[in-house]
Chain A
C-alpha cells in the first residue's frame, strides 16, 4: 500500500515537475508568475486529444504536433499579453496573467464543453506486478519521458549557446541585451519550451487518468507552482525536486489522511514553505531595492 502510493506519487510528481519547469523558466527570466501556465497545460492536453481524434494517427506522431501547437500558443500569449506589459508594475502583470488564465480556461469550456472528456487515444495499458506494487507500462513511459526531457532541458540550458543566452537573460535582461542577445527571441523561446513541456505533461495526465476537462489547469497549475516554490523558483533541479515531493506528499496524504483534501496538501505545503523559507530548497536570495 505504502510503496504503491509512493510509486503513484513519484509518477504524478514527475508531471508536476514538468509543469513547474515552465513556471521556473519564465519566473527566472521575467520575474513574473505566469498564471496562465496551468491553462496552457490544459490546452496542450486537449490539443493532443483533438488532433489524435481528427487525424487518427498514432500518438507518437500526434504528440510532437500537439506540443508544437502548445508552444506556439505559449509564444502567442507572451507576445500579446506579457510583452506589452514589460517593465510595468508587478500587479498589472499579475492581473494580466490572471486574465489570460481566465480567458483560456473559459474559451476551452466554450469550445470543448464543460464536461470531462475521455482520453481515448488507443493506448494499451498493461499491468506489471512487483511484489505488492502494481505498475503500468504507462507509468514506466511517463517516468522515462519525464527523466529524458528534463535531462535534455538541463543539457540545453547548460551547454548550448542558446542556453547560455537564456541564462544571461535570466541573470540580467538589460545587460544581456547590451551583449547582443536578442532577448525578445530568448523570452519567446522560453515560453515555447515551458509550454511544450506542459503540453507533454498534459497529454500524459490525460492518458494516466483517462480524463481531461477545461478547468483542470487551475489545480495542476497551483500544484506545479507549489512545486516550483518548494524547490526554489528559478532553479530547474529545484523544480524537479519540488514536483516529486509534492506528488509523493499528495499521494500519501490522500491515501492516509483524507482524499477529499487531495488538492489542499499541495497548497498547504506551498503556504508553509512561503512562510518559513520563501526561497525554497534550492533558490537564491534576491534582495529588493527601492
Chain B
C-alpha cells in the first residue's frame, strides 16, 4: 500500500515526465548500442529471444487482453508464418523481406478462417476450439511430409540479404528484431489508444452491452484475431531465418501456454506488461539453469496463483485505471 501511494505521489510530481523521458532515452540508447557494449553472442541471443517473445506476447495481448478472447493457438500462427516463410525461401527462392510479409499474410488468413465462424462462440468454447486448431496445425506440419518434410523439419532456411549485405551472426538479427519489436509496439500503441482499442475493451467487459451501443463484437474480435495472427506469423518468418531451421516440435501447445503466461504475468491489457512478462519469463529459465526442468511446472503454478491473487498481473489494466483516476482528482484540486 505504501509503495503504491509513493508511486502515485511520484507520478503526479512535476519531475515525473522528465524521469520517464530520461529512462526511455537511456534504455533506448542502451538497446541500440548493446552490440557495441558486449560481443557476447549468448547475451545477444537472449536479447533476441526476449524481443521475439515480446512481439508474440504483445500480439497475443491484443486478443486476450483487449478483445477478451482466450486463445491457446497463438504459437500455431507463429508456426504458420515460420513454415510459409521458410518454404517460400527454400523452394521458390523468395527474398526474406517478401517471405516475411507472406508469412504474416498466411497467418492472417488462417486467423480469419478460424475466427470467422468461431468468434460467435462463448469464451470457453472458443478457447477449446483454439486448442484443437493449434493441434491440427501441428499435425499438418508433421503429416504433410511432401511439403514440410514432417518431423525432420526444414533445415537451411536462408538468411536475409539487405542491399547486398547477407545477415550473419547475431548482431544484424538483433537490430532486425529491435525494428520488428518497435513496429509491433507502434501498431499496438496506435490500435489500443484509438477507438478500435476502446471498442475491443468494451467487447471484453461485456459483449451484449457493447452490442447495445452499436459495437459489433464479432467485427472487433475478428480484427484482433487477424492482426494478432499476422504479427505472430510475421515474427515467425524471422524466427525461421534466425534459427535457420523449422520443425513441428517448436510449435507445441505448451509454447502457446508460455506466451500466455507471459501476458498474464505482465498484466492483461497492458503493453509494457506484456514486454515485462516476456522479459522475465525468458530470463528466468536462462539465468537459473537449475530450474529449467521445472519451467512448465512454474508456468502452470504462476497461472493459477496469478489468477487467484492478482488477476490483473503486475502492470494490468486495473492498476492503470486507478492511477489515471487518482491523477485526475489531483489535477482538479490543483485548479
Where the two chains meet, the residues of A that have a C-beta atom closer than 8 Å to any C-beta of B are 32-33, 80-81, 84-85, 88, 90-96, 98-107, 109-110, 218-219, 222, 225-226, 229, 258, 260-261, 263-264, 267-268, 270-271, 274-275, 278, 288-290
Q: Are B257 and A98 in contact (CB under 8 A)?
A: yes
Leading 10 A-B pairs by shortest Cβ distance = A99-B303, A103-B300, A267-B132, A102-B300, A260-B143, A106-B296, A99-B304, A96-B307, A275-B117, A106-B297
Contact present for A110 and B307 (CB under 8 Å): no
Known interface pairs A96-B308, A263-B139, A278-B121; 10 further A-B residue pairs with C-beta atoms within 8 A, sorted by A's residue number: A84-B308, A92-B307, A96-B304, A96-B307, A99-B304, A103-B304, A218-B135, A218-B253, A267-B135, A274-B125
Q: A106: which of B208, B268, B300, B302 is its contact (CB, 8 Å)?
A: B300
Interface residues contributed by chain B, number (CB under 8 Å): 45
Inter-chain CA distance A70–B127, complex, in Å, is: 26
List residues of chain A with CB within 8 A of the CB of B143: 258, 260-261
Beta-carbon contact of A98 and B72 below 8 Å: yes
Is residue B206 contacting chain A, with contact meaning CB distance below 8 A? yes
Instruction: Take A99-B302, A110-B294, A271-B132 as given contacts and tell me if A91 and B70 are in contact as well, using a CB distance cutoff of 8 Å.
Output: yes
A290 adjacent to B206 (CB under 8 Å) = yes
Which of A92, A102, A219 is close to B296, meaning CB atoms less than 8 Å apart?
A: A102
Instruction: List chain A residues, Cβ under 8 A from B124.
Output: 32-33, 90, 94
Provide the residues of chain B in CB contact with A93, threshold 8 Å: 307
A288 surroundings in chain B (CB, below 8 A): 122, 208
Contact: A90 with B72, CB < 8 Å?
no
Provide the bound-state CA to CA distance between A90 and B307, in Å: 11
Contact between chains at B303 and A96 (CB < 8 Å): yes
Q: Are A92 and B311 in contact (CB-based, < 8 A)?
A: yes
Q: Which residues of chain B are near A274, meaning CB under 8 Å?
A: 118, 121, 125, 129
The distance from the CB of B133 to the nearest CB of chain A, in whole angstroms, is: 7
Within the complex, the shortest CB–CB distance from B209 to chain A, in Å, comes to 5
Name B277-317 residues within 8 Å CB distance of A.
Answer: 293-294, 296-297, 299-304, 307-308, 311
CA A95 to CA B307, docked complex, whole Å: 7
Known: A96-B304, A96-B308, A99-B304. A107 touches B139 (CB 8 A): no
Q: Is the CB of A222 within 8 A of B304?
A: no
Nearest-neighbour CB distance to chain B for A99, whole angstroms, equals 3
A223 to chain B, nearest CB (A): 9
Q: Are the C-beta atoms of A88 and B128 separated by less than 8 Å?
A: no
Q: How far is the CA of A145 from the CA of B307 in the complex (A)?
A: 38
Q: Is the interface of B mostly helix, strand, loop or mixed?
A: helix
Which residue of chain B has its CB nearest to the CB of A269? B132
A222–B206 touching, CB < 8 Å = no
Q: Nearest Cβ in chain A — how far from B314, in angstroms?
A: 15
A-B contact pairs, 10 of them (CB 8 A): A95-B264, A102-B297, A102-B303, A103-B300, A106-B300, A263-B139, A267-B133, A270-B132, A274-B121, A289-B208
A267: nearest residue on chain B (CB-CB)? Answer: B132
List residues 139-181 of chain B with CB under 8 A from any CB of chain A: 139, 142-143
Verify if B136 is at the interface (C-beta below 8 Å from A). yes
Neighbouring B residues of A98 by C-beta, 8 Å: 72, 257, 260, 303
Could you tell me if B304 and A81 are in contact, using CB atoms closer than 8 angstroms?
yes
B281 to chain A, nearest CB (A): 13
- The reply to whether the CB of B254 lies closer than 8 angstroms to some CB of chain A is yes
CA–CA, A96 and B124, complex, Å = 12
Residues B118 and A85 in contact, CB atoms below 8 Å apart: no
Nearest-CB residue, chain A, relative to B64: A91
Find chain A residues with CB under 8 A from B299 CB. 99, 102
CB-CB nearest in chain A for B132: A267
Contact between A260 and B128, CB atoms less than 8 A apart: no
Q: A105 contacts which chain B residues (CB < 8 A)?
A: 296, 300
Residues of A within 8 A of B142 (CB): 260
* B131 interface hit (Cβ, 8 Å): yes
Q: Which of B64, B125, B300 contacts A101 (CB 8 A)?
A: B300
Contact of B128 among A84, A91, A222 (CB under 8 A): A222
Q: How distant is the Cα of A98 from the Cα of B254 in the complex, in angstroms?
A: 10
Would you call B28 an interface residue if the criterion is a C-beta within 8 Å of the partner chain's C-beta atoms? Answer: no
Whether, in the assembled complex, B68 has its beta carbon less than 8 Å from a beta carbon of chain A, the answer is yes
Q: Closest residue of chain A to B208, judged by CB?
A: A290
> Are B135 and A264 touching (Cβ within 8 A)?
yes
Bound Cα distance from A194 to B128, whole angstroms: 19
Q: Which residue of B lies closest to A99 (CB)?
A: B303
A102 with B308: CB separation less than 8 A = no
B308/A85 in contact, CB under 8 A? yes
Known: A98-B303, A107-B297, A267-B133. A88 touches B311 (CB 8 A): yes
Q: What CA separation (Å) do A32 and B122 show in the bound complex? A: 11
Q: How far is the CA of A288 from the CA of B128 in the complex (A)?
A: 19
Pairwise interchain contact B293-A110, C-beta atoms closer than 8 A: yes
Nearest CB in chain B: distance from A172 CB, A: 19
Q: How far is the CA of A61 from the CA of B46 in the complex (A)?
A: 52
Known: A88-B311, A102-B300, A267-B135. A95 touches B70 (CB 8 A): yes
Interface string of B201-219 (1 = CB under 8 A from A): 0000010110010000000
Per-residue interface assignment for chain B, residues 103 to 127, with 1 indicating a CB less than 8 Å from any chain A CB and 0 otherwise? 0000000000000011001111101
CB distance from B302 to the nearest CB of A (A): 7
A270 and B128 form a contact (CB under 8 A): yes
Q: Which residues of B contact A263 (CB under 8 A)?
A: 135, 139
- Closest partner residue, chain A, to B117 (CB atom): A275
Known contacts A85-B307, A274-B121; A102 and B206 CB within 8 A of each other = no
Instruction: Kindly list chain B residues whose C-beta atoms are within 8 Å of the C-beta of A260.
Output: 139, 142-143
Bound Cα distance from A147 to B139, whole angstroms: 33
Q: Please, how many angstroms separate the alpha-carbon atoms of A109 and B122 in the complex?
A: 32
Indicate if the CB atoms of A271 and B133 lie closer than 8 Å. yes
Q: Which of B72, B123, B135, B302 contacts A91 (CB 8 A)?
A: B123
